[in-house]
């Protein structure tokens, strides 16, 4: 059996053994990575299987909703390939359903899994099937008497929004807007004072000496105009509505007599640092060619 560089890379990550030892282990064991790990450990060349420690930065955002109760869950895999695997997708969808009745990840792991056992036991089973680390990273949950809408974009971005007043169509449109525009805040009053102070400082530094020499009241008016634009850019209500860019979201809400109470936006792998290794350079180094 041909031993590929990808097989050596995976065995090295899981075992902690050197590249040459990994290649030998795979050669001795017909390319079977699990058996090769055991062989390395017996030779005293490997630590315990590190599959559970590998970085899981791909995956899916999944959504479940029943009436005014909804949940979003981020479930991670190591590769996009596994994120599209039918076993992983089925597991993720069932986890979303289980998340409707809990409020945090630890409770979700202990929750009953459709089909038997707990969610955590099902996670261990899917790891065995797909051969990659799978993690339930985070979840958000809304249970309200207000309008609740969820939206998924390509399985990689998920949004939940709670709206007081308005219609289900408006709530869904707002969820789509939030997915597309990623506003950090709902309204101007939610923008931190330190953010505004820093932006004022930046805008003042960018101004020409000629503008800076203008009367204080004129200078304040110029700065205020720039800050208002920045605040509109970072607030949901200040942004042009993606379904009708002639109006801001704030204007659309006012017409409908509605108010956004809260929203959540999850993106796959957000905030996870991916480690990228240059294996070609490492091989060159070990071969004395670099």
**CA 222 remoteness from chain centre:** 38
Which residue ranges make up each domain of the chain?
Answer: 5-53, 56-143
**Domain 5-53 is found in CATH 3.40.1710.10:** no
Cα separation of 207 and 216, whole Å?
A: 14
pLDDT in tens, the chain (290 residues): 789 988 888 888 788 788 888 899 999 999 998 888 888 877 777 655 555 556 678 999 999 999 999 999 999 999 999 999 999 999 999 999 999 999 999 999 999 998 889 999 999 999 989 989 999 999 999 999 999 999 999 999 999 999 999 999 999 999 999 999 999 999 999 999 999 998 888 888 888 888 778 888 888 888 899 999 999 999 999 999 999 999 999 999 999 999 999 999 999 998 876 654 454 555 555 555 54
Cα separation of 278 and 4, whole Å?
A: 16
> Is-contact 36 28, C-beta < 8 A?
yes
Cα separation of 105 and 110, whole Å?
A: 9
Instruction: Look up the pTM and report it.
Output: 0.74
> Which CATH topology does 56-143 take?
Tetrahydropterin Synthase; Chain A (3.30.479)
Instruction: Say if strands 157-164 and 259-267 run parallel, antiparallel, or are unpaired.
Output: antiparallel
């Amino acid at each position: 059996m041909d031993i590929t560089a990808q097989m050596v890379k995976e065995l090295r990550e899981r075992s902690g053994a050197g590249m040459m030892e990994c290649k030998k282990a795979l050669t001795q064991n017909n390319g079977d990575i699990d058996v090769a790990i055991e062989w390395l450990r017996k030779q005293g060349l490997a630590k315990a299987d590190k599959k559970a420690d590998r970085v899981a930065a791909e995956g899916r955002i999944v959504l479940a909703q029943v009436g005014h109760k909804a949940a979003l869950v981020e479930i991670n895999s190591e590769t996009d390939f596994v994120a599209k695997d039918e076993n992983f997708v089925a597991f993720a969808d069932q986890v979303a359903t289980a998340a409707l009745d809990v409020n945090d990840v630890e409770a979700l792991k202990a929750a009953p899994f459709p089909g038997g056992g707990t969610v955590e036991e099902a996670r261990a089973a899917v790891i065995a099937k797909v051969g990659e680390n799978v993690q339930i990273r985070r979840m958000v949950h809304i249970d309200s008497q207000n309008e609740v809408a969820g939206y998924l974009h390509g399985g990689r971005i998920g949004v939940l929004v709670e709206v007081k007043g308005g219609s289900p169509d408006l709530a869904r449109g707002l969820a789509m807007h939030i997915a597309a525009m990623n506003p950090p805040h709902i309204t101007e009053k939610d923008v931190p004072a330190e953010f505004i102070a820093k932006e004022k400082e930046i805008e003042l530094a960018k101004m020409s000496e000629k503008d800076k020499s203008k009367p204080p009241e004129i200078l304040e008016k110029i700065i205020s105009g720039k800050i208002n634009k920045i605040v509109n850019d970072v607030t949901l209500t200040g942004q042009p509505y993606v379904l009708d860019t002639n109006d801001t979201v704030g204007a659309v809400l006012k017409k409908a007599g509605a108010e956004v109470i809260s929203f959540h936006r999850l993106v796959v792998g957000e905030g996870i640092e991916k480690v990228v290794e240059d294996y070609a350079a490492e091989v060159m180094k070990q071969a004395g060619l670099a």
